[in-house]
């Protein structure tokens, strides 16, 4: 079994919305062969809680406006460290970068086929590492440490 056309449409719209809000490392997996409860997972991250919320809000708004889809469940919103949007056909995970590294969902789903995403979403790969390097450089420059 593979992800339905509807699931792929939802994933692509959600991925584009996340990319538009500058999410990092957007990736999607077809989990339909290993899970009976959903077809696909979308993973995205951001370096701070406020951006996580912004990405989640944009995904939710865009899926509702463009495709008439509303999540049946939204979890983790208060802390904004890991927000889950369950659309039944797809599940969207938007994580703070630290949570993304710690939980490493990619390792859990690495055997599932990766779904093709819009170019803007693909271009976000490696952005978390790039941001972390930039932040480390800024932090060391701010403390007067020599590199």
Cα dihedral value 59, 56, 129, 42, nearest 10: -60
Q: What is the pLDDT along the chain (147 residues), one digit of tens a residue?
A: 689 999 999 999 999 999 999 999 999 999 999 999 999 999 999 999 999 999 999 999 999 999 999 999 999 988 889 999 999 999 999 999 999 999 999 999 999 999 999 999 999 988 777 766 766 677 777 655 544
Beta strands in 31-136 (DSSP E): 40-46, 73-75, 82-86, 90-96
DSSP character for 114? Answer: B
Report the alpha-carbon distance of residue 82 to residue 56 in Å, rounded.
10
The 3-class secondary structure across 22-48, one letter per residue, is CCEEEEEEECCCCCCCCCEEEEEEECC
Number of domains in the chain: 1
Residue closest to 49 by CA, chosen among 82, 21, 19, 26: 82
Residue 28 maps to which CATH number?
3.30.460.10
**Structural domain boundaries enclosing 87:** 5-143
pTM for the predicted model, two decimal places: 0.88
Nearest to 92, CA basis, from 5, 31, 22 = 31
Number of H helices and number of E strands within the chain? 6, 5
């Amino acid at each position: 079994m593979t992800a339905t056309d509807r699931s792929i449409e939802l994933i692509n719209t959600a991925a584009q919305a996340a990319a538009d809000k500058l999410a990092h490392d957007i990736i999607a997996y077809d989990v339909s062969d290993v899970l009976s409860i959903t077809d696909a997972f979308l993973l995205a991250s951001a370096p701070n809680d406020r951006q996580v919320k912004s990405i989640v809000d944009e995904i939710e708004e865009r899926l509702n406006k463009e495709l008439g889809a509303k999540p049946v469940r939204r979890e983790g919103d208060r802390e904004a460290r890991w927000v889950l949007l369950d659309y039944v056909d797809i599940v969207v995970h938007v994580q703070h970068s630290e949570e993304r590294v710690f939980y490493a969902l990619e390792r859990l789903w690495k055997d599932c086929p990766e779904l093709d995403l819009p170019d803007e979403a693909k271009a976000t790969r490696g952005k978390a590492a790039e941001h972390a390097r930039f932040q480390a450089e800024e932090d060391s420059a701010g403390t007067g440490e020599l590199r």
